[in-house]
A and B are shown apart, each in its own frame.
Chain A
Amino acid sequence: MEPADIELVTLAKAAQDERAFAVLVRRHQARLRGFLIRLCGDAALADDIAQEAFMKAHAGLSGFNGGGSFRSWLYAIAYREFLQDARKAKAAARLEEALRKETAGHQGQTPEAGGLASSMSLDLQQALAGLGEMERASILLCDAAGFSHTEAASALGAPLGSIKTYVGRARDKMRAALTEETQTVPASPKPEATPSQPTNGKQYVL
């Protein structure tokens, strides 16, 4: 049986056991990076933020008192990093560019440029990009990552009631956007792939 997060944290804190922290990194890295990629729309930026979050979690492990779950504590660090990064002018420009790419569609996009950030269904991407920052973070944590509302509130540093509101509102907005998309898609002509304009060949249906 695999040890629980709290047992690994205790080991890493008490015995300064690097292997215990390594297990925590391996256990949470992919999901955390996935969340960050969907949150900021840039895989490289998401990896930088995740790396910084793990570094800070390692350095500040003694500050984790076990009041909440380890993952909500880790995601809280990552979310703060994301906000800090987004505040910086350079990162904000990258973010804007990434989000603009998300909403602009995939026409003319090379497979290299596709990458992890845009592996998502185009409809879903557009619907997600239309959400506010907190709405996006809340719905990604609660609906995609399987966080409880309490955990999400702890990770995002917002009141529980607000998280419920954000999730509900985000679902409504996304549902409306996806319904609208479904109604408009059959009417729009299919773009023809030409040799000079490679497409990623993916068709997503929600």
Chain B
Amino acid sequence: MSSDPVETALKADLEALTDRLERDRFAERMLFKLGAQRRARLGVVAFAGGLGAAFAASQFTGVVSALARTLGAATPEIAMTGLSPQFLAAFMIAGALLATTLVLRQDF
């Protein structure tokens, strides 16, 4: 414990001020604001993701037929792998979903 009157006075003043500040709602307002940023970001990403998924779903049959044509014209070695156009199209969409998830998790 210090006996310096200046230190004692400053400490007592800050303690009293801190006690008053503990009782207001600054922390709650602060955390709400922090949460709001996260919520807004999630909203934007979810909207963009939903839009992208709807677009991808609408293009699914087109992608499948395009892949079928590509696979048909491909070399026999690729055709022999047995990859169906449906599987490849689903794989592409899953890749896009994975990329969206990584962005959501802030890995990128």
Contact = CB atoms under 8 A, between A and B. Distances in A.
Given A50-B26, A58-B34, A145 B14 contact: yes
Classify the secondary structure of A's interface with B: helix
Tell me whether chain B's interface is mostly helix, strand or loop, or mixed. Answer: helix
Given A116-B20, A175-B6, A144 B31 contact: no
Nearest to B26: A29
Interface in A127-185: 127, 139-140, 143-146, 171, 174-175, 178
B21 A33 contact: yes
Contact of B6 (A16, A47, A116, A178): A178
B38 A143 contact: no
Give the interface residue-count category, chain A.
35 or more
Interface in B56-78: none
Interface residue range, chain B: 20 to 34
Contacts, number: 86
Contacts of B9: 121, 124, 206
Contacts of B18: 30-31, 34
Interface string B90-108: 0000000000000001100
B4 A26 contact: no
A25 B31 CA distance: 8
A186 B17 CA distance: 28
B43 to A, nearest CB: 16
B6 A174 contact: yes
A144 B20 contact: no
A31 B27 contact: no
Contacts of B20: 116, 119
Interface of A: 16, 18, 21-22, 25-26, 29-31, 33-35, 37-38, 47, 50-51, 54-55, 58, 116, 119-121, 124, 127, 139-140, 143-146, 171, 174-175, 178, 206
